[in-house]
A and B are shown apart, each in its own frame.
Chain A
Amino acid sequence: MSIKVRYFAGLREQMGRTEETLVADGIANVHDVWKCISQGQTMAETDNIIAAVNMDYAKPDSPVKDGDEVAFFPPVTGG
Chain B
Amino acid sequence: MAVRISAMPFDPLQELASAQAGMPEIQGKIGATAIFIGAMRDFNDNDDVQAMTLEHYPGMTERQLEAIIAQTRQQWPIVDALIVHRVGSVLPGDTLVLIAVWSAHRSAAFDACRHILEELKTRAPFWKKEVLTDGERWVEHNTPA
Contact = CB atoms under 8 A, between A and B. Distances in A.
Name the prevailing secondary structure of the B interface residues.
mixed
Interface string A64-79: 0000000101111111
A78 B85 contact: yes
A28 interface: no
Interface string B28-62: 00000000001000000000000000111101100
A55 B88 CA distance: 20
Nearest to A57: B123
A10 interface: yes
A74 B124 CA distance: 12
B126 A76 contact: yes
Shortest Cβ-Cβ A-B pairs, 7 listed:
A78-B126, A9-B127, A55-B60, A79-B121, A10-B138, A77-B139, A77-B128
Interface of B: 38, 54-57, 59-60, 63-64, 85, 96-97, 117, 120-129, 138-142
Interface of A: 6, 8-10, 48, 52, 55-57, 71, 73-79
